[in-house]
Amino acid sequence: MTDSGKNILMKFKKRWLLMQGLEIFLYAIGPSILIYILSSNIILSVLLFITLVATLSILYKPWKLNLDKICHFLDNEIKSMEYSTGLLLKPKEQLSTLGILQQYRVTDELDKEIGKIQPINHLKTAGITFFLCIIISFFAYNFNWSSSISVNTNGGSQHSILVQPVDSLAMESIPPILESQQLTILYPLYTKNSPVTTEEMDITALEGSRLSWGIKFKGEVKSVVMESGGDSYPMKLEKGEYIRTMTLKESGFYNFRFTGVNGGSYISDLYVMEVTKDKSPVLEIQDLNQFTSFSFYDKKELSFKTLITDDYGINEVYIIATVTKGEGESVKFREEKLNFDDRFSKGLKRLSLFKKINLDNLKMEPGDELYFHVEAIDSKQPNPNITKGETYFAVIKDTATNQFAVEGTMGVDLMPDYFRSQRQLIIDTEKLIANQSKLTKKEFNATSNELGFDQKALRLKYGQFMGDEADSGIQVTEEISTVETVNETEDPLEEYTHDHDGDNEHNLVDHEHEEDTMEEADDPLSNFLHNHDDPEESTLFTQSLRSKLKQAMGEMWDAELYLRLYTPKESLPYQYRALKLIQEIKNSARIYVHRIGFDPPPIKEEVRLTGDLDEVVNFQKKEGIGKAEENPFMRQAVFRLEELILNRSLILEEDKALFKGAGMELALMAIKEPGKHLKTLQRLKWLTEDTGATMERLKETQRGLLQAIKVQNPNPKKGKATVGKINELVLKELEVND
């Protein structure tokens, strides 16, 4: 029984220690998260967490919690224990009979009451502290409090403006001491972003943001100028601070130029101005096919959901629907602007809208078509971004169609409507062959059979132009049907004998041939007439086109056969041959217009054959086929720097102009990769200002230009020796680091 009571005390001890650990954790994690949100410094946050845990652990001293203290606590909390909880820690050998009985009673009483007793803790206070820190962190994250606080936490020397003396007078004097620097970024109003204030001069902001610089010096400064893009902008002095404000429109670089009271000039480092564009809204339409068709008796409704997202908020979303009526030149268009069924508030960054379009409400009739797309406009000002989604189609099938008829005075359209269907059949057949492994045998055979049916429909369509009227494509004549209906019961051996006196097939054919010969003899104009009663003659095509079309229909027969036998791979060659014949028929029916040739000027007879060449001059034309050299100023600057390094000569005015041109070319590269070329651009700027043109700086500038210049591929030439890849890399590194 003693072990059981002691176990109860051990479990209570573990619960007490666990609650103390949770309390320490809540007190430490809340402030650590808040500091991380405000400073974005994970190291500082971790150090604060460790410090708080160590401090609270020293205050609570969880290692000093033992069973004696727990027994004393329980004696004060449970009056029925009669201050006998300590008996549970003693072995039975040390207790009297009365003590053993009391031990049993205490154990039972403790087992009943232990669940109602809570160890000493401050979990409620720790939880409130944690949630307060989380709420403050939430507001700090959403309202950009971290930006303003990070300015105060940064050291003054981390982002301070560094200056270089420009002239000899500035080198001999003490440069102006910078007291404070500040850059404020005011985002456009439609973004609803809070202003950002920082000491860092490198800028990455949204297009159209308002930038405001403020620089303050200890002592007097004659003038402060901001230089950007080759232009200079003086900064105004207001209340002891030099201020300049501008609207950010394009990326570039800028620097400051200071003039001291003694006339010395100083220049700062180059800083980056990077513009980010407001992205257009993104549209995604769900649960809608690209093309939908309805019959007259269907429920003509289109339902779909549209997801729209934008980086700074959506201002308007609508549907542009266009209804077409009629055909050919008499087609009419009607455009309508439809709103979504759901209402939404302007400025939201994510929307999910539903729309149900009823074609009957648009007054559409059979044969009408509907084209519609979704347009979304964001809240950018003054010129918002507009995104147009994909166009979707819907049509109501027209059951009444007009049949084309040919009259004596009308033109004839020789081309059928299905000249491109054979190509589509080839595409579908190849797709079926490619997906054979993914389909079951039943699905594969059914699809192949459907393609065979489509091939038959196409063949029958061409058969109409050959004069065929039956579904098989071959007209059944009265004579053949008569032969098939002969009563076979009269003579069972009739079909196996050759009876010249009977009405068998051979005699019928001979008799028919004789009748045709007699008719041709009676009618001398039969060879010059177009007999529409003959299927071989009742065609709109000429004789050459008819023969090709018959060949194409024969290929279609074989293609359909193999499709019906579920072997589409063997059907493909026949389909390709049929398509080739159809294209030849199509091309042969084209009408070509004779090209108008050169019309020479009239010959002057008075000067002809005189041999006078005074007015005759030769025509000369020069055309360069070589590719223009890229970055010419940078390449010339590399050679000039090499001369300056070898001769240890001074920089001339011509050199400054050359370095300025090289800086303009390098600036275009630095806009895309500022971290790679910004230092080289800064050194070129210093060289144009005569700011300490040391040998080390000249070499670093030359090395940076060599890395920035694109290596041109050598011109093709005959070479006798081959250079390995490793040797090429070694030579390239030697050229760069020379």
Helix, coil or strand: residue 349: coil
Q: What local confidence, expressed as pLDDT, does residue 697 receive? A: 78
Q: Identify the domain containing residue 204 by its residue range.
A: 156-276
pTM, 2 dp: 0.45
Residues 211, 262, single domain; the answer is yes
User: Is 612 within a domain?
Assistant: no
Q: What local confidence, expressed as pLDDT, does residue 387 receive? A: 92
Mean predicted confidence (pLDDT) in 29-55: 85
pLDDT at 55 > cutoff 90? no
Q: Tell which of 396, 428, 450 closes a domain.
A: 396
Residues 107, 89, single domain; the answer is yes
User: Is 306 within a domain?
Assistant: yes
Residues 426, 561, single domain; the answer is yes
Mean predicted confidence (pLDDT) in 341-345: 87
What is the average pLDDT score of the chain?
A: 76
Residues 53, 184, single domain; the answer is no
Residues 264, 289, single domain; the answer is no
Residues 62, 122, single domain; the answer is yes
Residues 260, 313, single domain; the answer is no
Residues 311, 381, single domain; the answer is yes
User: Is 76 within a domain?
Assistant: yes
Question: Could you give the CA distance from residue 550 to residue 527 in angstroms, rounded to a whole number?
Answer: 22
pLDDT at 628 > cutoff 90? no
Q: DSSP assignment, residue 422?
A: H
CB 314 within 8 A of CB 348: yes
Q: Kindly indicate the confidence band of residue 627, based on its pLDDT and cuts at 50, 70 and 90.
A: low
Q: Kindly indicate the confidence band of residue 490, based on its pLDDT and cuts at 50, 70 and 90.
A: very low
Residue 282 phi, psi (nearest 5): -110, 125
pLDDT at 596 > cutoff 70? no
Please enumerate, as own/partner, the contacts of 696-703 that have beta carbons within 8 Å and a separation of 24 or more: 698/641, 698/644, 698/645, 699/645, 701/641, 702/638, 702/641, 702/642, 702/645, 703/736, 703/737
Query: What residues contact residue 396 under an 8 Å CB cut-off, 6+ apart?
Result: 293, 294, 295, 296, 300, 359, 364, 365, 366, 367, 368, 369
Residues 549, 646, single domain; the answer is no
Q: DSSP assignment, residue 524?
A: T
User: Is 501 within a domain?
Assistant: no
SS3 content of the chain, % helix, strand, coil (to 5): 45, 20, 35
CB 180 within 8 A of CB 186: no
Q: Which domain CATH number covers 344?
A: 2.60.40
Residues 262, 289, single domain; the answer is no
Residue 91 preceded by cis peptide, ω within 30: no
CB 316 within 8 A of CB 308: no
Q: Tell which of 140, 164, 188 closes a domain.
A: 140
Percent over 70 (pLDDT), the chain: 71
Task: Quickly count: other Cβ atoms within 10 Å of residue 311's Cβ.
Answer: 17
Residues 686, 709, single domain; the answer is yes
pLDDT at 284 > cutoff 80? yes
Residue 387 phi, psi (nearest 5): -115, 130
pLDDT in tens, 572-584: 999 999 988 888 8
How many CA atoms does the CB half-sphere of 56 hold within 13 Å? 19
Q: Total structural domains in the chain?
A: 5
CB 540 within 8 A of CB 412: yes
Percent over 90 (pLDDT), the chain: 14
Q: Which domain CATH number covers 238?
A: 2.60.40.10
Question: Could you give the CA distance from residue 161 to residue 202 in angstroms, rounded to a whole number?
Answer: 11
Query: What residues contact residue 284 under an 8 Å CB cut-off, 6+ apart?
Result: 306, 307, 308
CB 221 within 8 A of CB 206: no
Helix, coil or strand: residue 610: coil
